[in-house]
């Protein structure tokens, strides 16, 4: 039981530390998102790549799953940090002046 808790919830704490979440609400939301995604990717890799359809948390499997989860966490956190640092998305909406005047029924002189 403790093996499962360690493997499922501990690796995502590393992502909180790397991305320095300070606000409580955003930190909790970020942590839960990482828990779900890290374990999803770890499960997919375990089942489909390593071809182990049944997961039993023995001590040896716990160590392997923990290492895999930590590697995925580090990869996700660094990717997200680089994405935020180098990619800036700005959305700007402008109304066409002629279109706005025609819709309001005013005439252009």
Which range, of 13-17, 33-37, 40-44, 88-92, averages the lowest pLDDT? 88-92
Torsion angles phi and psi, residue 105, rounded to 5: 90, 15
In this predicted structure, what is the pLDDT of residue 3?
Answer: 81
Percent of residues, the chain, with pLDDT higher than 90 = 15
Domain-wise residue ranges, the chain:
2-104
Q: Is the overall model pTM greater than 0.85, yes or no? A: no
pLDDT band at 85 (very low <50, low <70, confident <90, very high): confident
- Mean pLDDT score of the chain, rounded to an integer? 82
Distance CA 42, CA 49 (A): 10
What tens digit of pLDDT does each residue of 57-82 get? 888 888 888 999 999 999 988 888 88
């Amino acid at each position: 039981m403790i093996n499962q808790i360690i493997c499922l919830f501990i690796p995502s704490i590393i992502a909180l530390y790397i991305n320095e979440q300070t606000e409580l609400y955003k930190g909790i939301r970020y942590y839960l998102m990482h828990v779900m995604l890290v374990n999803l990717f770890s499960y997919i890799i375990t089942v489909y790549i390593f071809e182990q359809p049944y997961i039993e948390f023995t001590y040896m499997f716990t160590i392997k799953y923990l290492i895999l989860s930590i590697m995925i966490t580090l990869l996700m956190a660094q990717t997200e940090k680089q994405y935020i640092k180098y990619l800036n998305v700005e959305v700007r909406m402008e109304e066409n002046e002629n279109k706005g005047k025609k819709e309001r029924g005013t005439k252009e002189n």
